[in-house]
Amino acid sequence: MATTADIRNGLCIEFNGDLWTVVEFQHVKPGKGPAFVRTKLKNLRTGRVLDNTFTSGVKIEVARVERRQYQFSYKDDLGYHFMNQETWEEVQIDESLINAPQFLLEGQTVEIVFHADTETPLSCELPPFVDLTVTYTEPGVKGNTATNTLKDGTVETGANVRIPLFINEGERIRVDTRTGEYSERIKD
């Protein structure tokens, strides 16, 4: 058992019968009354974000989680299949647990968060940026590049990304998996 003094960003706790991770917190000591900790918690199963206030000194239940590196193998009717690089163990994960499934590419390394006590997968996180090849886009018109205008482009995973006019088919781009937006062109 831990107390509110142990709260930090990224800490996984059991709260209201579910697993939550601390997104942000603030320790508040008002001039009058007891101190308290204001937190923003994210549910690991549903992704819902909740604001909660703990009175200072209250006991909290810390959940043990482990982050492991897995490689994406394939997708079928049962879900997404990943393989552990060290043990060759395969795990199947539902699409709702993956933060950006539209950018998953075969052979890509991801980080899967497991509940240490039950060995159940809680979430799957892609790297912050992935490098993808543009497979389809309309050609840019010469002279339209004076402004920051974007056009639709399809990448090799089948996802649609808004890209600048100067990007053509076959070029590699870097995409932010947290927002799904174009980041930069990759020059070989």
List the chain domain ranges.
2-62, 65-125, 130-186
Mean pLDDT value across residues 141-148: 64
> For residue range 36-89, what is the model confidence (pLDDT) as tens digits?
999 999 888 777 889 999 998 889 999 888 889 999 999 999 899 999 988 889
Mean pLDDT value across residues 7-22: 88
Q: What is the 3-state secondary structure (H, E, C) of the chain?
A: CEEHHHCCCCCEEEECCEEEEEEEEEEECCCCCCCEEEEEEEECCCCCEEEEEEECCCEEEECCEEEEEEEEEEEECCEEEEEECCCCCEEEECHHHECCHHHCCCCCEEEEEEECCCCCEEEEECCCEEEEEEEEECCCCCCCCCCCCEEEEEECCCCEEEEECCCCCCCEEEEECCCCEEEEEECC
2-62 and 65-125, same CATH topology: no
Asked whether the beta carbons of 127 and 109 are under 8 A apart, the reply is: yes
The torsion region of residue 82 among left (phi > 0), alpha (psi -120 to 50) and beta comes to: beta
pLDDT (0 to 100) of residue 143: 63
**Which one of 2-11, 146-155, 176-185 scores highest in mean pLDDT?**
176-185
Cα 133 from Cα 155, distance rounded (Å): 6
> For residue range 93-135, what is the model confidence (pLDDT) as tens digits?
988 888 889 999 999 999 998 888 888 888 888 999 999 999 9
Q: Quick one: fold of 130-186?
A: OB fold (Dihydrolipoamide Acetyltransferase, E2P) (2.40.50)
Report the CATH number of the 65-125 domain: 2.40.50.140
pTM: 0.76
Q: CATH classification of 2-62 is 2.30.30.30, yes or no? A: yes
